[in-house]
Structure 1
Amino acid sequence: MDPETVGVRWRLVVGGAAAAVVVLVVALVLAGGAPERQPEGLIGAGLPLSWAVPVLRLIADGAAIVVGGALLVAVWLLPASGIRAAQDAAVAAGVWALASVAGLITSAAVILGIPLSHLAEHASVAGELIQVRALAVSVVLTAVLAVVLSGVRTVRGARFALGLAALALVPPLLTGHGAIERTSFWSVTATTSLVVHVFAATAWIGGLAGVLRYARDRAAVERFSSLALACAIAMGVTGLLTAEIHLGGREEGWGLITQWVTTGYGALVFAKTIAFAVLVAVGWWHRTVTLPELATGSPAAFRRLAAGELVIMAGTVGLAVALSRTP
């Protein structure tokens, strides 16, 4: 691989990571979900540890997206690159596992409101917390996934790993806003919708990253284009449904419309909706302009647009993490 290509890829990685972190921090501060300093005299987890929780969640989500995209390449989009994609997925799964372990520890300290140095003394109490248990399951699954991926050499093995990766995405989603009232029909609906939303986002963003990294032919890009359309539809429907339920629209009429400009959570929903609309427009441009150019042997326009699309997607992931931590 020539140095220029390596440089472009690293600039894309750094640009995407920067966009995600900046959007995360700004969204948390403006929407009211940012950690606050403890009043004088009170012992708490501390601001650095409190900020580490969403940042580690962002890292874990980013690694999960890389894993999902690489495995989609190995299983369906471009099986010829399966071994290389599986190796990349193994590295990303290791990052996912490490971020999940760190997220488990910091989340437990923040939820209990204690410094990290006191966590061992309260391990039994932390173990009773549903959020901690869910994160612990995720830690186990991601660790197993990293080990499995280190030995994957066939499409069948990649399929198994893809199923395991999908399973590892689920536990943290079962303790979010939608899971507060577990016996409520709307709670179950919101949680199920969120799971579908995250699966679709992982496939869409990860698939595009995989196409940019591995694909060299039009067929793989066209397969991804069909997948992206299905993911966009699923994300649009489930995103609006989940937001409307969380904003109380099921009880008060169209809560999403009235509250996305009057609450921090609603404002983030509005921002995420705008970002989604931009991504849909970019997808339409791909289908009508860059794919025909790709068919003529001119991939430059597709790659430039896809790189910009990935940066926007990275910012949207930052918005999603902020949304999950905003009242």
Structure 2
Amino acid sequence: MTRLHGRRWLLAGGLVAAGLVLLVVALLAAGGAPQQPPAGLISAGLPASWAVPLLRFTADATAVATAGALLTATLLLPTTTDGKLSRQGLRACQDAAVAAGIWAVASIGGLLTSAAVILGIPLSHLADHASAAGELDQVRALAVTVVLTAILAVILSGCQTIRGARFTLLLTALALTPTLLTGHGAIERTSFWSVLATTSLVLHVFAATAWIGGLGGVLRYARERTAVERFSRLALICAITVGITGLLTAEIHLGGREDGWALITQWVTTGYGALVFAKAIAFAILITLGWWHRRTTLPDLATGNPTAFRRLALVELLIMSTTIGLAVALSRTP
């Protein structure tokens, strides 16, 4: 049992490491990596600047883990007649509580480092500029996330019913939202295209979170055929939503609404466009693997052989982890 537990932690660590490596590579390749300021200028420093995307990746990864565990507990696992969570459902909620706690801590770190980087001051001087930091939209958004995730972790630690798990799933969605409202699409809030891009981004992240987290939840808590078939239907809806909203958001940010040729040009001439293209390739691979799941591994699972499903699902999770890294790099790339 201890060996199995160790293998699971090793696999989880490998998935996280793959996403972090691709995040760093993508930032360096696309021009979003922090730069050393000119001599004589005060700044937050490279460590704090690099901490911003790394903490964002940690927050996003734990948000996915939280949502995936709760989706599994509320939608994929068998329900009980008295409204109580099953044994695996309780386990999922306890894991979600830990993930939400890490999410809260990462958000606190992100709040502090983001404020220092935006204001251009060392972290040690941040207390002297607290009022200025409080005026920043990014800091306010992260502050809301910190509060919501802390509440989420506390509630989940004692959650024992389906109704409670559903409420925390809604709270997870609320905690995901604030930071999505301060990105590229929210620069001009009065613009129709800005509102459309932000709305599309929110739907994109919700669908991707359910897709990635749900697959992880199935692997950890519910490998039975019924749960996998339920997830397969959910994954199809999520994949369609991710594809449509991803294309729409990219088209808006890269200027395709004004000039179709500009969209193609920026895909190959800008770092932002290159990352969008890389995400599109990863999405195409995931769609292919999903089709392969339906064609081969689900029938194998029905015969009582889960090995092929587990292996292919782990490959999917590896690719999904790298797409989280790409997404964070995209949010940090001009």
Equivalent residue runs for 1:91-170 within 5 Å: 91-170=98-177
1:250 aligned counterpart, secondary structure: coil
Task: Answer yes or no: is the 8 Å Cα contact 1:244–1:255 preserved in 2.
Answer: no
Cα deviation for residue 269 of structure 1 reads 0.3
Identical-residue share of aligned pairs (%): 74
Deviations 1:165-213 (A, max 9, x none): 0000000000000000000000000000000000001000000000000
Name the counterpart of 2:66. Answer: 67
CA distance in 2: counterparts of 1:236 and 1:34, whole angstroms:
27
Please say if 1:225 is aligned against 2:232: yes
Question: Structure 1 residue 4: deviation in Å?
Answer: 4.2
Counterpart of 2:313 in structure 1 is: 306
Structure 2 Cα separation of the partners of residues 131 and 17 of structure 1:
25
Per the alignment, do residues 298 and 34 of structure 1 end up closer, same or farther by CA in structure 2, a change over 3 Å counting? Answer: same
Structure 1 unaligned regions, length at least 5: none
Unaligned residue ranges in structure 2 (runs of 5+): 79-85
Q: How do residues 1-327 of structure 1 correspond to structure 2 at under 5 angstroms? A: 2-79=1-78, 80=86, 81-327=88-334
Paired with 1:256 and 1:317, the residues of 2 have a C-alpha distance of: 23
Paired AA for residue 114 in structure 1: I
Please say which of residues 80-89 and 154-163 is displaced more in the overlay: 80-89
Q: Residue by residue, what CA displacement relative to the aligned partner does 1:17-51 show, whole Å, maximum 9, x if unpaired?
A: 11101100000000000000011111100000000
Q: 1:254, CA displacement in angstroms?
A: 4.7
Q: Note the C-alpha offset of 1:15.
A: 1.4
In 2, Cα distance between the equivalents of 1:125 and 1:89? 34
Task: Say which is worse superposed, 292-301 or 245-254, in terms of deviation.
Answer: 245-254
Post-superposition CA distance 1:40-95 (Å, at most 9, x none): 11110000000000000000000000000000011111143211111110000000
* TM-score using structure 2 length: 0.96
Structure 1 residue runs of 4+, over 4 Å off?
none
Using the alignment, how far apart are the partners of 1:121 and 1:261 within structure 2?
44
> Matched residue of 1:305: which SS?
helix
How far apart are 1:252 and its partner, in Å? 2.2
Q: 1:10 & 1:138 partners in 2: Cα distance?
A: 26
Residues 220/254 of structure 1: CA separation in 2 closer, same or farther (3 Å cut) = farther
Preserved contact between residue 215 and residue 221 of structure 1 (Cα < 8 Å): yes
Q: Which moved more, 1:132-141 or 1:289-298?
A: 132-141
Which amino acid in the other structure matches residue 128 of structure 1? E
Q: Which amino acid aligns with 1:46?
A: G
Give, in angstroms, the shift of residue 216 of structure 1.
3.3
The answer to whether the 8 A contact 1:244-1:254 is kept is no
2:291 and 2:263 map into 1 onto residues whose CA distance is: 26
The alpha carbon displacement at 1:102 in A equals: 0.7
Aligned-partner SS, 1:39: coil
Distance 1:83 1:173 in 2: 30
Deviates more, 1:77-86 or 1:192-201: 77-86
Post-superposition Cα deviations, 1:225-248, rounded to whole Å, max 9, x if no partner, equal: 001110000000000100110111
Listed one character per residue, the Cα deviations across residues 120-146 of structure 1 (whole Å, up to 9, x for unaligned) are 010000111111111111111111111
Q: Number of residue pairs matched? A: 326
